[in-house]
Every structure is written in C-alpha cells, then in structure tokens.
Structure 1
C-alpha cells in the first residue's frame, strides 16, 4: 500500500497549485508573446461556452433596448394624442365661435342661412286664418297634403322657427306655434363666444285675445349654467322634429327662483308673430 499523504503534504500541494494559477494569471498581462500555459488551459475550458454567454448577453441587451424603445414610442404617441385632442378641441371651439358670430350678424341683417336645411325640400305658404282667441297658439297655412306637407313638419319664417304642423288637409295645414305651452322645443342657448347650454323652450301664452296676451317663452336652467341676457337660442336638433340650429329667439332676462338653485331665462322670439303673413314648411320626410 502506498504511503498516505498527511495534512501537511496536502496543504503544501494546494499552496503550490494556487501559486501556479496566480503566476499564470500574472503572466497573462505581460504580452501575447509570453508563454501562458494556464491561460491556454482556461481558454480551452471556457471557449465552448463563451459564444453562448456572449449570445445570451447580447439577447438580454437587445430585449431590454426593445422594451425601452417601445416605452419611448408609447410616451411619444400619448403626447401626440394629447396635442391632437387639444387642437381638435380648439378647432371646434373656434368653429363654434365663428358660426355664432355669423348667426348674430345674419340676424342683425334680417336673415339667416342654415346649412342643415339645404338637404330638405321647402314649400312657401301664406297664413290664411288665425283665431283671435288662439292668436298665439295656432295658425292655418294654405299648403296641405297635396303639396307634400305632413304632420310634424317644421315651419320657419324669415328669421327663425315658427312652430310645427299638427294637422293636415289636402289644401291646408294647421301649425302649433312655439309660443304655446304644448309646443316645447329642445334648444341650445349659445353666447356670442360660441359656448352652448342645452335646455327646453316652453311657450306660456294663455288663451285670450291678441289684445290681451299673457305669457312668454322661457327656459329653465341650473344656477351655475352659463346663460346670459343677449344669448341666442337655437334648436338643438334633438327629438327628430326640428333640424339643428334654427334660430328661436334671444335671452331677454334672467331670474333666479326663490330657492336660488335654478334660474329662468325669458326669451324674446325673433319672429314677429303679431304680423306674421308668410312662412316656409320644411318637408322633413322628403329630406330623410
């Protein structure tokens, strides 16, 4: 049996092995021409996995770069979308301001133009009858079903909305005026700056002769709604009866109710209902 190494011999062997490795590592930095057996051995051992290690490192780097690049693009897209929304909002607000200004100017000149009405056929009509006891409620026009007029067709004047057709005969049609309590209209109050607030226009004229009229046109709002005297009231186009943006009147006065939570806008109609003689019937069924 061979002679067994004791603890001291093992320690000496390990010491010399470590010393050889350290000397080999030290000699590595002296130049490529210096013989480096330890470096060669280490290179031989590590070279098979060196390529895989480099590929793994490159993959991690590339994937990390893709993640950061994607996040950067995402942030840029979010910033662009915010700018687009802002520009779109600014353009819509500018458009509303321009349209509002045009409407006020047209009404001051005694006329209005409504692009919404261009797709509808219109027929001119004359007022042929008005009952003195319902002067501010109904009137009769000389156009009827043979002219293509139908129930719920809007009726407009030179400056704005008059009412809607409620009954038709072959040659005549009866019109319910917006002054009547049953002639409610969904409307939009728009300031000269283009700001709009929705509401319902209600006529409150009571039965009586034209010499003793009682009532007005009004809209109810919350106290914080931005509605002021002089604002223009237009149809909102909601409900399917009246096209959008037909002038109705101007806000004459604002009053708070006793609770202080609501306010009433009293509206002066643009159409002179006392002297109304002619109107246009908008044939909605034809335009749809």
Structure 2
C-alpha cells in the first residue's frame, strides 16, 4: 500500500496567495488600463459574483439586525401592554368589589327603610360555624354598641335570626335555619299563625325551611304568600319577613297545614347585617 503524503498546505496560505493574485490583477488592470482586456473579463467572472455574494450576505445581516431590533421593540411593547392589562385588571377588580359593597349597603339601607320604626345598628360578619350555611355566626359589634341577647338580626330582605351571646366587641347570632330554631310566624294574607322550624337538612336538599301548625280553616293560604314574624312571638318583633310559602299540604289531622318556605335571606352569603336594638316587650303574650 502506498502511503498518503503528509504534506499539506495550510488553508490560510492558500487564501493569502489567492488574495495576493487578486490584488496584483486589480493593480495591473488599473495601471495598464486593461479595461477591455482579459483581466477585466476575469474580474467580471470572479469579482462580480463575489461582490453579489458579499452584498447578499450584507443585506441578509442587515435584515436580521433590523428584525432583531424590531423584535426587541415588540417585546418591550408587549411587556408594557402586560403591565397595563395587569393594572386595568386590578382596577376592574377593585371597582367590582366596591360595587358589590355598595350594593350590599344599598340593600341594608332599603331594609332599614322597610322597618323604620325600629332602631338598628349595622354590623359585619367576622366568622361562622363550619358548613355551607350561616346557621351560627359572629358579628363585630357587641355590648359596647348596645347589643344584647335576644335582639333580632335582619339582612337581605328579612329575618336572619336572634343574638344568643354578647361580648364587648362581638355578638353571636343563631339564624332561623338552625336546627334548634323556632319562630312564631303569620301569613300576611290571612293573619293565620304557624310555627317556622329551622332544618339544615332541608336547606341542604332544597334551600327551604319548614313550617307547621298553620290553621287555615278558610283555605285561603296559597303558594307565594308571605310569612312574617307574629305578634305573639316571645323573642321576635312583629312584622319581619321570614319567607314565602313554597309548598303547602294538609296534615293528617285535617285541621292544620304544613309545608316549606323560601327564605327571604340568602343564608349562604351573609356579610353585613342589621341588629334591631328594640327588644320584644316581655309583658306581651308569649308563645
């Protein structure tokens, strides 16, 4: 086998040689005015394509540089737009929260005007028992604000419950949907009395509360009739809306009726309440 020659001319020397030849050719062409000669022809075949290639590479690099510059500009603009979107989103959330609070205050104001004969104090809910419903919860007003046990609490469109415990700066409220709650109610259409019972299972299943012992001897009670607190209630002041008849049926004794009420209050979302500072007169007839 023949060995390959190890002698190899470095590429840099070849490049230098070719560059020298090109330089000499250019010099001879200009000094000897061989514009129409063979050197000019060679130059046309060699340097023109080279120039075109250089121009193409230069244009390509310039375009890439411009694109990179535009990309950086677009990215910077995109960051500014993201910051503006974040600021506008935050502002919109603040406006929504303020609108929600304003709606709640308007609702409380309307409720306050609905029962103008009672003195009231507004309070915020600060905690609640476990579960979906506000059956037992705590408000941020107490004895320093004139609140006492057995005072009525209202929100939304009507009755929430009654104060069961009071501290200097807080009070606990048991709502009418709690299992231990009972309220003497009355139909506004007939003045017939009934007993409204709290039932968390019924709230979980149908979002209703129960009523029993309705003496509707004239069969005038109907679905949709409002039920309010009765004048014979022992703790609740008269005329506070409890809810509306949702279902109605005759009991097995054929003397009374029972059914369910749709509460006047959204017991899943309570944030602000009004506490009625007027307590039920203990001298009235109780039930």
Q: Which TM-score bucket, shorter chain as reference?
A: 0.5 to 0.7
The secondary structure found in structure 1 opposite 2:137 is strand
Answer yes or no: is the 8 Å Cα contact 1:250–1:267 preserved in 2.
Answer: yes
| Shift, 1:239, TM fit | 3.4
Structure 2 gap segments, 5+ residues each: 1-106, 283-287
C-alpha distance 112-150 of structure 1, shift in aligned 2 (>3 A): same
Matched, 1:201 2:196: yes
1:203–1:215 Cα contact (<8 Å) kept: no
Unaligned runs of 5+ in 1: 1-108
Instruction: Work out which of the residue numbers 270, 274, 278 in structure 1 matches 2:264.
Output: 270
TM-score w.r.t. length of structure 1: 0.53
Determine helix, strand or coil for the equivalent of 1:196. Answer: coil
1:59-138 pair list within 5 angstroms: 117-133=115-131, 135-138=133-136
- Contact 1:220/1:265 (CA < 8 Å) preserved in 2? no
Q: Is the Cα contact below 8 Å between 1:153 and 1:283 reproduced in 2?
A: yes
Distance 2:239 2:231 in 1: 7
Tell me if 1:147 matches 2:141.
no
Tell me the residue number matched to 2:170: 172
271, 282, 286: which one pairs with 2:276? Answer: 282
CA positional deviation for 1:178: 0.6
Q: 2:141–2:147: 8 Å Cα contact kept in structure 1?
A: yes
1:218 correspondence with 2:216: no
Residue matched to 1:22: none
CA deviation map 1:161-182 (0-9, x unaligned): 0000000111111101011232
- Work out whether 1:252 is the aligned partner of 2:246: yes
CA contact (8 A) 1:218 1:267 kept: yes
Work out whether 1:163 is the aligned partner of 2:158. Answer: no
Contact 2:125 2:138 in 1 (8 A): yes
Whether 1:231 and 2:225 are equivalent positions in the alignment is yes
* Alpha carbons of structure 1 residues 243 and 215: separation in structure 2 relative to 1, 3 Å: closer
Question: How many residue pairs are counted as aligned between the two chains?
Answer: 175
**Other structure's SS at 1:253 match:** strand
State the TM-score, normalized to the length of structure 2.
0.53
- RMSD of equivalent CA atoms: 3.3
